[in-house]
Amino acid sequence: MDQELLKSLENFRPLKIYKIGSVIFRIYKAKNLYQPSWNNAVLKKITKLARQSYLRYGRVPLIDEYDKNAAIFLCRSSFGKLEEWLCLRFVPGNTDTHLLEDLNQYVYNGKTIVNIIKNKLVFRDNDLQTKLVAISRLCGIAPKNSAMKHTAQAFALINKEFFSETHFSYFLGVFRPEVLKKILRFSSRFSLSFPDAYKTLKCRPEQVYLDRSWSAYHFPGYFLNASQLLKSLQKLIEEKKLNIVFIKKYAKNYNPEIKKTANYMEILNMIYGINAVLLWKGKIPGSKITGEELRALLDRSVADGSKLKIISAANWKKQLKRIKIKQVV
């Protein structure tokens, strides 16, 4: 992190300061709900720096239309000479005709998931704004040459602050399993529980699924099972249905010889740019199938990689209250 940037933040007081062991957690609110302006220019810059981590999935704007009405928080975790940042935003259900991005992404029995949410959770259109809030753009800045170590604690402390001052009824988000493991395990003795949407909606798991016409093939590394996607593509290449030369034109790091033990980040790096192939319209150059046929094949062979989570705010707050941490300031 640029030290000059941090120095210019010295005069902006954190909302809260906590201490867990030898780690100091400073909670900042970069932006208020329903207010288009930011509270601090430096925090906005840090938010944009943190959001650069999303570029690993594809090209996304660092600031988008959902930020206008969102509350945006950051947590600065300091330990020894190191520090890390966690940033996340809370977006209200429906403002300025913009439906929650997460609600656009998922369907229930082939139709918008909004219908069942209205029937079982919020009941009226205008309640979407006042009763639903979603977390998104969860991202961070790790210490130089090190991994983030305090993500779960920072995540919980930000949530404690946000839900202490708001009155939403339901909380939702779309997460990959790798992310959930990092944010929910607060300590060896306590983990937050964030149920799949189908459990809260009291329906069968197969009834709630990703609408792949929305973002799945634009950002396959986030929304699809990356390992299954890689295996399916390799199978099509071996069967000479897909042209590897054409794939490498867009996914320049693509390597069919990658080890079976490759982790998620290695696969993500390898398939970066593959969205151009997955979104192809008509016959794929040098291949035996069309883009439409490719997507149909992947719909059958590749599972969703991320899951929609929904929990009542009352349940979430109850869990957060179990976290007893002494506030320093």
| 165 and 310 share one domain | yes
For residues 294 and 232, give the distance between their C-alpha atoms in angstroms, rounded to a whole number: 10
| 140 and 198 share one domain | yes
CATH number at residue 98: 3.40.630.30
Is position 217 within any domain?
no
| 130 and 187 share one domain | yes
Amino acid letter, 169: S
Report the pLDDT value the prediction gives residue 123, as an integer from 0 to 100. 65
For residues 76 and 13, give the distance between their C-alpha atoms in angstroms, rounded to a whole number: 12
For residues 87 and 76, give the distance between their C-alpha atoms in angstroms, rounded to a whole number: 9
| 290 and 312 share one domain | no
Report the pLDDT value the prediction gives residue 259, as an integer from 0 to 100. 72
Domain that includes residue 91, residue range: 3-211+306-321
| 202 and 87 share one domain | yes
Please count the structural domains in the chain. Answer: 2
Question: In sequence order, what are the residues at sequence separation of 6 or more whose Cβ sits closer than 8 angstroms to the Cβ of residue 40?
Answer: 9, 12, 28, 30
Is position 154 within any domain?
yes
| 207 and 295 share one domain | no
Question: In sequence order, what are the residues at sequence separation of 6 or more whose Cβ sits closer than 8 angstroms to the Cβ of residue 70?
Answer: 31, 33, 89, 90, 91, 92
Is position 326 within any domain?
no
Report the pLDDT value the prediction gives residue 1, as an integer from 0 to 100. 67
Q: In what order do the strands lie in the sheet with 106-108?
A: 111-112, 106-108, 208-210
* One pLDDT digit (tens) per residue for the chain, 329 residues: 677 777 888 888 899 999 999 999 999 999 999 999 999 999 999 999 999 999 999 888 999 999 999 999 999 999 988 999 999 999 988 655 556 777 888 999 988 898 888 888 876 656 777 789 999 999 999 998 888 999 999 999 999 999 998 889 999 999 999 999 999 999 888 999 999 999 999 999 999 999 998 789 999 999 999 999 999 999 999 999 999 999 999 999 998 777 777 888 999 999 999 999 999 999 999 999 999 999 999 999 999 999 999 999 999 999 999 987 877 76
- Identify whether the C-beta of residue 292 lies closer than 8 Å to the C-beta of residue 283: no
Is position 279 within any domain?
yes
Question: What values do phi and psi take at 148, rounded to 5?
Answer: -70, 135
Is position 315 within any domain?
yes
**The model's pTM:** 0.90
| 182 and 234 share one domain | no
Distance of CA 172 to the CA centre of its chain: 11
